Structure 1
Amino acid sequence: MRLLDLLHRWTGGIIGLVLALLGLTGVVLIHKNAWIGVPHAGDPLLHDPGAIATATERLLAQSGKAPQGIIYASDGFGLHQLRFAGGGGAYANQAGAIVTRWISQRQRPELWIFDLHHHLFAGDIGETVIGISALCAIFFIVSGTILWWRTRRTFKPRLLPKRMSRPAILMHHRDLGIITAPLLLLSALTGAMMIFKPVAAIVVAPFSPPAAVARAMAPPKLISGPLAERPDWRRMLAAAQARFPDAEVRILALPRKPGDAITLRMKRAAEWLPNGRTTLWFDAADGRLLAARDALAMPAGAQVYNAAYPLHAAKIGGLAYRLSMTLSGVAMAMLGSFAVWTFWFKRRRKTLPR
């Protein structure tokens, strides 16, 4: 038990600030739609396929350089987002009129906060550090629960420490941690699943063989013609809507290299993932439908994996679940920051004998 306590304290003292940062930025991102502050962001979603096709044609015609794709407006956010290589982009209303542009994600707070939360501004290396931090958080939750059991009789639920002394902060750390442990475990586990494939394989294994999940998630091998000068977006969107009548158009991705198809992601009514995983591939030259994948027909393990992000980012469950995950993020920020402070700066002073 002493060794477990030692590992818990030392690991927390080293990784606590990263977890605090993840908790704080996660809370900000959960409520992004409430503070983004772009005109028309609160517009109601238009479901008319003709209006979506018109906006698509207009956006791709006036965007200047070729974009990588479009993220379409949703129920919670009434703007289309154009994405360009190098981090540039634009927001447009649902009629296809550009509202604001940026040449770097640093110009949009919601984008650089997202990058900080997911990559620590360090790309794949930062993402790996975050994944390791998530695994450490799982260790903290398990070891903290074991260590708390010894002192359970002193349990007192408090949002803040009674005083800013080391013993009071440690008691608050133990008690707040045990209260929020289920939510913290959910946040850490889903975060680790999205970064590390072996973690995801362990979680989905009871539902489907990981190999079957990997096959279901892999894109089909298709050969497409070169991108037409004026693709028939109206025809493609109509074909997609006819194939999945209950689905919303979510993401249009243009070919990145010769031979790639046009990819259209949709969200069926029963899907949790905000951008859906129902996918259609069209020939870039003539707009023919090459392949389609129904997310609801995927193996159970793939659907469990697809639920990781909406659970992690509070994209389901309405206001009640958003508030629950807000509590989880605030708790993670407090636990991580107080752990570092008590470990490195609030050490118990040794008294010398007279």
Structure 2
Amino acid sequence: MPGWGRLHRWLGLTLSLWLVLVSLTGTLLFYKTELLQLKYPQLKLTEIPDHQDAARVFDRFDAGHAFLPRADKPWIEVVDVSGTHQYFNAAGEHLLSREHMGDWISWFVEFHHHLLLHELGKDIQGYLGLASLLLVVAGLVKWWPQTWSRRLFTIRWAWPWQKNFRATLWQLHRVTGVVLLIPLLILLITGTAIMYSAVVSDSLTRLFPEQHQVTSMPAVATEATSWPQRLRTAEVLFPEMEPRLVYLDRARIRFKYEDEWHPNGRSYMQFDPFTGALVSWQDIRNQPYGTQLAQMVYPLHVSAIGGVSLLTLLVAGGIALIVLPVSGVWFWLWRQRRKKVA
């Protein structure tokens, strides 16, 4: 199918640099905690702070948001209004300040999320994500064999200075795309869906509007005017939930229930900042099934579920999304050079 072949070739050449960079940064960010601890050894903490340790640190700040410590992030982390990340240990001692765009890890995060262009970058990421899905479909249609054999999945290795390297490039490109099709599709589909999260959530909610009330807001009198009081109240009222994130200027806590995929959860408890009264409660399990399904997209993309097995699969997919454009463009350049010689 020559039309699909031309579409695959020109989309590949157009998207190759973006695919390499966004896949490289995304694959490295699977190991963000390890990279932070490598660059900042003071973050290699052996004692994980508890919620009350964190709450006492939160009381020092009036704005921004903060993350509760957990096993994969064993520190207290506060993000102020300027975007600077402040890190503390269990004793409340300040360990580190990371300014927004102040190190290469922050640059990687911003590039992977927004191409360093804020909301405009998010829009561009969405368009490029859709184009990359069309690229994969075109490549699959172009490759689809009339007869199947083991040779379709064979790579005969040769080095660039050897005669058969052209065949190696072609086989590497073809086999990588086919063998690792599932993980690279997971990454591309979920990554694109994140860029269009509102549309995806609305569409899934329309498809699956059913909902089941599992919890309701307790009718209790509270006077939780400090973060230690708010977290204690939350743990008493909803022991099956784990607080993960707080909004410092809004007296709002975000929770994760035990079987929820999202690493920070999508349930909220809102206190009155002045009186300390509990004023609202939102449980993701009370939301329509489509809304709950939409909240599974991000955790799948970042391998927040599935343990080592899914992480290994998605890292392989990320590497495939680097190998494919490199091998494809290299093969195309080799052919162009041969045509000029001929």
Q: How does 1:1-354 map to 2 (within 5 A)?
A: 1-37=1-37, 38=40, 39-43=42-46, 45-46=48-49, 51-61=50-60, 66-102=62-98, 104-150=99-145, 153=149, 154-158=151-155, 162-164=158-160, 165-197=165-197, 200-201=200-201, 204=204, 208-209=208-209, 231-255=225-249, 261-343=250-332, 347-350=336-339
SS at match of 1:338: helix
Aligned residues: 323
Root-mean-square deviation (Å): 2.8
In structure 2, the CA distance between the partners of 1:138 and 1:341, relative to structure 1 (3 Å rule), is same
Q: TM-score, normalized by length of structure 2?
A: 0.84
SS at match of 1:36: helix
- 1:186-234 alpha-carbon deviations (Å, 9 max, x no partner): 111111111114762587268515xx89xxxxxxxxxxxxxx9x94222
Q: Which amino acid aligns with 1:249?
A: P
In structure 2, the CA distance between the partners of 1:41 and 1:305, relative to structure 1 (3 Å rule), is farther
Q: Which amino acid aligns with 2:84?
A: G
Q: TM-score, normalized by length of structure 1?
A: 0.82
Structure 2 stretches lacking a partner, 5+ long? 212-222
Give the C-alpha shift of residue 41 in structure 1.
Answer: 3.9
- 1:258-305 alpha-carbon deviations (Å, 9 max, x no partner): xxx422101111111111111111111112111111122322211211
Equivalent pair of 1:71/1:82 in contact (CA under 8 Å): yes
Give the whole-Å Cα distance in 2 for the aligned partners of 1:82 and 1:29: 20
Give identity over the alignment, percent: 25
SS at match of 1:77: coil
**1:258 corresponds to which residue?**
none
Equivalent pair of 1:251/1:266 in contact (CA under 8 Å): yes
- 1:68-94 alpha-carbon deviations (Å, 9 max, x no partner): 021111221101111112321211113
Equivalent pair of 2:36/2:43 in contact (CA under 8 Å): no
Q: Which amino acid aligns with 1:43?
A: T
Deviates more, 1:297-306 or 1:335-344: 335-344
Equivalent pair of 1:72/1:80 in contact (CA under 8 Å): yes
Structure 1 stretches lacking a partner, 5+ long? 214-227, 256-260
Give the whole-Å Cα distance in 2 for the aligned partners of 1:251 and 1:193: 23
Equivalent pair of 2:4/2:138 in contact (CA under 8 Å): yes
Q: Which amino acid aligns with 1:170?
A: W
